Amino acid sequence: MPIGNTQPSVRPASAGRAGGAAVTPAAHRSGARPRRTRGGLGAERYAPYILVLPAVLIIVLLRLYPLLLGVNFSFTGDGEQNGTAVGFGNYRELFADPLFQTALSNVGLLVLLLPVAVAIPGLLATFIYLRVPGHRFYRSVYFFPAVLSPVIVGAIFNLLLAFDGPLNAVLGSFGVGPVDWLGDPDIAMFMVVGVHIWATFGMALVVFLAGFATLDAALLDAARVDGATLRQVVWHVIIPALSRTIQFVFVTTMIGMLTSMFGLLYIMTSGGPEGSTYLPEFYIWKQQGQMNRPALASAASTILFMIMLVVGLLQIKLLERSGKED
Amino acid sequence: MRQRAIWSAVLVVGLALAGCGSASDSGKSTSSDGKLVVWDWKSGEPFAKSYLDKAKADFKKKHPDVEVEFVAQPFDQYYTLLGAAIQSGKGPDVMLFNGGGQIRDRVDALVPLDDYVAEDKQRLAGWEAFAKDGKTYAAPVTLQGYPIYYNKAIYQKANLDPASPATTWDKFVADCAAIAKAGSKCFALGNKEGVGIQFWLSSMGSTTLTAAEYDAWIAGKRDWNSANVKRLFQTWKETGDKKMNSDGANSTAMFNDSFALFQSGKAAHVMGLMSDVGHWQDFNEFLTPEKLGVMKAPIVTAGTTPTLPYDGGIGYAVAKWTKDPKVAADLARSLSSADALKAFYADAGAIAADTTIDVSQAGPAVATIVGELKTGKPALHVALSSKTLDLMGRLSQQLLSGSVTVDEVVKQLAASDQAG
């Protein structure tokens, strides 16, 4: 609350809300009160609103208004019907489109794979924290992929996973037949998600390491003295102590998966094979840019927005609940 | 990425300013000593220099007082920028277009050129791609078609006669078996983007559909349930079932991984292009002209005659807002004059729209292609909507992996084609 801090005279107006007011010295408050009752009442009362006005205006004009325009646009037609209202026509078309259904079910798949995407950096961070041999080396190496752009990562894995690529060559030397990693509709989505996790887990790892920094080492020592195994230490000490961090990583990883897989998809599979790796984002881009269906694309965007809203609210709720437990 | 965005923003602003400036310039001056502005996406390339020099020289002879300025736009934003120019009603006097949908969607902003280009009608090919409702809107520069290239060295290795490739589908399949025995694949196929089926459709169309069916298809009356249309997809499936295609076709990019497979001699055939990329001059980097052959499509349906599928590639059009359409049309004509196109063919390796150019220097493949232009027809896939093409791409991948039947494919495509 920068307003409260920089402008002591206004504080009483917001004192009811700001929890920070409780720690303010009483003298300060009593000094402010007489002034407020004497004069300039109107200006002081409206000052906070005026001060937040620019921020509110920016949010309303540049965020909410375009959002409403986009939602409104999704109820109009494309092509010859440009500008005319078509009701829920675009939405009906979307839900009848098997491609969009695939995109939505892939979102479901991402949610199911989320625990894996969180567990990998979590486990690796635990090992680094427990100082496995070479932990300094791993700490820097794990972060490397996070600085690469998805386009470069995608191009690298395109080469590695090509039908005549090195991975199949290695498999072949063990006598395993080649697999069309990016050409088999049952496998391709897992490969793309796998590469996405590989490329982004470095960030989550750093967050986990930061969480570990706040962990009380005495707890670990106590557990060891009591003769706990590594598994028991992880399960009964580390995970409970890091619950806030884990939840934070859950939220950011989910958002990352839903909103920043486009580059990888575009480079690695272009939504294929057989449309099996479509995600709503990619579908929106395709309809808007390639098919010249901007209104249909904005209907899909609206649905993606709703999904994100629901996911986000659920996660905020989870965070709040865990906050209470603390 | 951000760097790129900044640069393109700078470019757009710069070009927009240049465009405005020139529009007002030509507005001020009379047509005889004015200035014409041309937009394209080629003039920045080194290979276009001699082409432009020739075209400018030709134009200078006719209009010595008129200055010409070429503005190269980035291709990925070309039609967006052009759309903005059209909306504002001012911009370049002459502009480059892709044939087909790109120009047909924008003819409202263009001047019909029929009165100006009558003399060129015979000399140049590919006019249809720039025409709408009987009026022509651009003078063609290049042609884009879908010939079947083959590697004569692989034919020799497989004990096949490189001079006479198969003329029927059955013989072709047998040849492919021989090629497989010799250790090569029959087709270099990249169908990751679903484009492979488009080339297949157009390359094999003339020998699978009857002439009447072919013409009806182009005219928009497509009978998806006809046995021959199904046959087009059955032969496509057959190439997958008989392992005639390069491995992992559904995860191989056509541009340019599949062409690389062909160039490096891993596959005997490829359905390629005539201009821009994936064409004879590209291949010549590794395949000498003597080794590169162009074959007619093998006959699938008895009684059909193979023809080369091609359309106009790119061409220059004249904007409605230009001061003197006659002068601008003369510039468009100069840009497709014989000398200019000859330079474009030689330096860019494109098949120019001028069929009188002597191409015997470039090897037998080019001579074959140019020889077939006279009887060529528009390509089948160009007639389909982008929505149907996208669906066809996905279905073609399913056909290759065996998860859909041909009947189901034509049913879905018919529904999409009729809806669009």
> In this complex, do B252 and A162 lie within 8 Å of one another by their Cβ atoms?
yes
Provide the CA A5 distance to its chain's centre, in angstroms: 32
The shortest C-alpha distance from B384 to chain A (Å) reads: 12
Which member of A163, A272, A290 has the closest CB to residue B247? A163
Which member of A180, A290, A291 has the closest CB to residue B250? A180
Provide the CA A318 distance to its chain's centre, in angstroms: 15
The shortest C-alpha distance from A179 to chain B (Å) reads: 9
* pLDDT, position A318: 74
Which residues on chain B are in Cβ contact (under 8 Å) with A180? 247-248, 250-251
* Cα A149 from Cα A135, distance rounded (Å): 25
Q: Give yes or no for residue A9 having a pLDDT over 80.
A: no
Whether A273 and A293 have beta carbons less than 8 Å apart is answered as: no
3-class DSSP assignment, residue B69: strand
**Does A91 or B29 have the greater pLDDT score?**
A91
* pLDDT, position A32: 45
In chain B, whose CA is at the least distance from the CA of A79? B420
**Mean pLDDT estimate for chain A:** 84
* Cα B231 from Cα B297, distance rounded (Å): 14
- Residues of chain A above pLDDT 70, percent: 86
Closest CA to A102 of A294, A301, A282: A282
In chain B, whose CA is at the least distance from the CA of A187? B251
3-class DSSP assignment, residue A75: coil
Which residues on chain B are in Cβ contact (under 8 Å) with A81? none
Q: Vertex A218, ends A214 and A224: CA angle to 5°?
A: 120
Per residue in A209-222, is it b (16+ CB within 10 Å) or e — as a string? Answer: bebbeeeeeeebee
* Cα B238 from Cα B230, distance rounded (Å): 12
The shortest C-alpha distance from A53 to chain B (Å) reads: 31
What ipTM does the predicted assembly reach? 0.76
- A294-325 and A65-73 are packed helices; what angle lies between their axes, rounded to 10 degrees? 130
The shortest C-alpha distance from A149 to chain B (Å) reads: 9
> In this complex, do B1 and A149 lie within 8 Å of one another by their Cβ atoms?
yes
Chain A interface residues (partner B, CB cutoff 8 A)? 99, 149, 161-164, 178, 180-185, 188, 269-270, 272-275, 286, 290-292
Tens-binned pLDDT, residue by residue, of chain B (420 aa) = 455 555 555 544 444 444 333 333 333 333 445 899 999 998 888 888 999 999 999 999 999 999 999 999 988 778 878 877 887 888 899 999 988 878 887 888 899 999 999 999 989 988 988 988 889 999 999 999 999 999 999 999 999 999 999 999 999 999 999 999 999 999 999 999 899 999 999 999 999 999 999 999 998 899 999 999 999 999 999 999 999 999 999 999 998 889 999 999 999 999 999 987 888 888 888 888 889 999 999 999 999 999 999 999 999 999 999 999 999 999 999 999 999 999 988 888 888 998 888 888 888 888 888 888 888 999 999 888 888 999 999 999 999 999 999 999 999 999 999 886
Whether B209 and B232 have beta carbons less than 8 Å apart is answered as: yes
Alpha-carbon distances of A165 from A170, B80, B196, B243, B388, rounded to whole Å = 9, 38, 21, 19, 32
Which residues on chain A are in Cβ contact (under 8 Å) with B401? 183-185, 273-274
User: What is the CATH code of the structural domain delimited by A89-325?
Assistant: 1.10.3720.10
* Cα B199 from Cα B277, distance rounded (Å): 14
> In this complex, do B193 and A272 lie within 8 Å of one another by their Cβ atoms?
yes
Domain ranges, ordered by start, for chain A: 2-73, 89-325
pLDDT category at A177 given cuts 50, 70, 90 is: confident
* Cα A251 from Cα B235, distance rounded (Å): 49
The pLDDT tens digits of the residues spanning B10-47 come to 544 444 444 333 333 333 333 445 899 999 998 888 88
* pLDDT, position B56: 93
Whether B95 and B105 have beta carbons less than 8 Å apart is answered as: no
- Residues of chain A above pLDDT 90, percent: 48
| Residue whose pair of structure tokens reads 């303010």 in the numeric block | A24
The shortest C-alpha distance from A268 to chain B (Å) reads: 9
- Mutation for A interface: B250, B254, B385, B416, most A CBs within 10 A: B250
Which pair of tokens denotes residue B159? 């004990």
Which residues on chain A are in Cβ contact (under 8 Å) with B192? 182-183, 269-270, 272-273
* pLDDT, position A325: 53
The pLDDT tens digits of the residues spanning B72-131 come to 998 877 887 887 788 788 889 999 998 887 888 788 889 999 999 999 998 998 898 898
Residue B52 parent element (H or E)? helix B49-62
Domains of chain B, each with CATH number or no CATH: 12-142+312-368 (3.40.190.10), 147-307+384-419 (3.40.190.10)
Which member of A161, A164, A272 has the closest CB to residue B250? A272
- Mutation for B interface: A164, A180, A274, most B CBs within 10 A: A274
The pLDDT tens digits of the residues spanning B288-309 come to 888 999 999 999 999 999 999 9
Task: Look up residue A32 and give its amino acid.
Answer: A
Which member of A269, A273, A290 has the closest CB to residue B386? A290
DSSP symbol at A148: S
Per residue in A118-157, is it b (16+ CB within 10 Å) or e — as a string? Answer: bebbbebbbebbeeeeeeeebbeebeebbeeebeebbeeb
DSSP letters for B68-121: EEEEE--GGGHHHHHHHHHHHT-S-SEEEEETTHHHHTTGGGB---TTTSGGGT
Count, residues in chain B: 420
Which residues on chain A are in Cβ contact (under 8 Å) with B390? 286, 290-291
* Cα B249 from Cα B194, distance rounded (Å): 10
- Mutation for A interface: B87, B394, B396, most A CBs within 10 A: B394
* pLDDT, position A23: 44
Which member of B193, B248, B403 has the closest CB to residue A183? B248
Separation of first and last alpha carbons in chain B = 36
> In this complex, do A164 and B247 lie within 8 Å of one another by their Cβ atoms?
yes
Closest CA to B35 of B66, B61, B60: B66
Which residues on chain B are in Cβ contact (under 8 Å) with A183? 192, 248-252, 401
Closest CA to A153 of A204, A121, A193, A195: A195
Cα torsion B290, B294, B300, B305 to 10°: value is -120
Q: Give yes or no for residue A8 having a pLDDT over 50.
A: no
Which residues on chain B are in Cβ contact (under 8 Å) with A185? 397, 401, 403
> In this complex, do B398 and A270 lie within 8 Å of one another by their Cβ atoms?
no
Which residues on chain B are in Cβ contact (under 8 Å) with A99? 394
Which member of A184, A188, A274 has the closest CB to residue B394? A274
* pLDDT, position B19: 38
> In this complex, do A163 and B397 lie within 8 Å of one another by their Cβ atoms?
no
* Cα B260 from Cα B275, distance rounded (Å): 16
> In this complex, do A272 and B394 lie within 8 Å of one another by their Cβ atoms?
yes
Which residues on chain A are in Cβ contact (under 8 Å) with B250? 180, 183-184, 272-274
The pLDDT tens digits of the residues spanning A111-140 come to 899 999 999 999 999 999 888 899 889 988
| CB contacts < 8 A (A, B) | 65
Chain B interface residues (partner A, CB cutoff 8 A)? 1, 192-194, 247-252, 386-387, 390, 393-394, 397-398, 401, 403
Closest CA to B316 of B133, B160, B126, B176: B126
> In this complex, do A274 and B403 lie within 8 Å of one another by their Cβ atoms?
yes
In chain B, whose CA is at the least distance from the CA of A168? B248
